């Protein structure tokens, strides 16, 4: 097991770029997973018109602390739209087909897909959804009230997941990065998950919500929950969003 880290670092050093699929003119992978026939696309409220309370970056950073449990939490569709946009939202197209979003991405490859389990989101049925950044829309992947218990089992944290308003699931499509960056792209995928979750923590603080990020989950159970292809789609990181009762200290 101790050799795994060395093998990863050695295997993802800067490659000979003349060997990568971009240079070899292999067709570029799609920037978003397609919407399947029969799936309904739901347009989200415009996040740029959503007014958020001003909060200092320092205050947002100091606000975060490990979470043991949430109170019963509800989030509005406008708030959800804002959080999705802050974490993977589309800004513009640059250099013909290259996208610019609200998080850094090596080579602007954006290898993450954002899924989320909506537990208590106003206007949405309980279920699994996927974010479509370019149109700021979502698509229902699976409507199922049993997903909350399934999510808590997969993540090994019943007290947090069953009371969260929404739980984000960031899924890597590594070939989007390795197509242009070779094996170095595998590092980029992991780093981007961290960038994305940090944006969520900062954005949620401005709305008064707390975030419980975790990489402690059963990979196979999360992949099954989201109906992922284990060969090409890898769950990387989870983040539950909700509210916490904070004790008030009298001066």
Calculate ∠ Cα 155-204-227, nearest 5°: 35
pLDDT at 67 over 60: yes
Are the C-beta atoms of residues 50 and 78 closer than 8 Å to each other? Answer: yes
pLDDT for 1 equals 59
Q: What is the pLDDT of residues 2-54, one digit of tens each?
A: 789 999 999 999 888 888 999 999 999 999 999 999 898 999 999 988 888 88
In the chain, what are the domains? 54-242 (3.40.109.10)
pLDDT for 246 equals 65
Calculate ∠ Cα 205-208-214, nearest 5°: 55
The number of residues in the chain equals 251
Residue 170, beta-bridge partner list: 114, 237
What single DSSP character describes residue 157? Answer: -
Residue 234, beta-bridge partner list: 172
pTM as predicted: 0.94
pLDDT for 207 equals 94
């Amino acid at each position: 097991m101790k050799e795994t880290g060395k093998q990863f670092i050695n295997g993802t050093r800067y490659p000979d770029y003349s060997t990568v699929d971009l240079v070899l003119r292999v067709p570029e992978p799609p920037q978003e997973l397609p919407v399947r026939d029969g799936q309904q696309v739901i347009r989200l409220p415009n996040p740029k018109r959503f007014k958020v309370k001003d909060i200092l970056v320092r205050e947002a950073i100091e606000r975060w602390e490990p979470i043991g449990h949430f109170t019963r939490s509800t989030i509005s569709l406008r708030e959800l739209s804002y959080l999705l946009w802050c974490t993977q939202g589309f800004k513009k197209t640059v250099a013909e087909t290259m996208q610019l979003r609200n998080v850094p991405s090596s080579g602007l490859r954006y290898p993450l897909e954002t899924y989320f389990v909506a537990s208590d989101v106003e206007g949405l049925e309980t279920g699994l959804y996927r974010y479509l950044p370019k149109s700021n829309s979502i698509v229902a992947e699976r409507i199922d009230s049993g997903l909350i218990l399934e999510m808590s089992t997969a993540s090994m944290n019943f007290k947090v997941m069953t009371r969260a308003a929404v739980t984000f699931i960031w899924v890597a499509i590594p070939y989007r990065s390795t197509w242009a960056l070779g094996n170095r792209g595998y590092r980029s995928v992991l780093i981007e998950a961290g960038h994305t979750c940090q944006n969520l923590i900062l954005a949620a603080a401005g709305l008064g919500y707390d975030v419980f990020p975790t990489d402690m989950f059963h990979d196979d159970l999360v992949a099954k929950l989201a109906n992922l292809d284990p060969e090409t789609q890898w769950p990387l990181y989870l983040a539950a969003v909700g509210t916490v009762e904070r004790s008030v200290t009298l001066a």
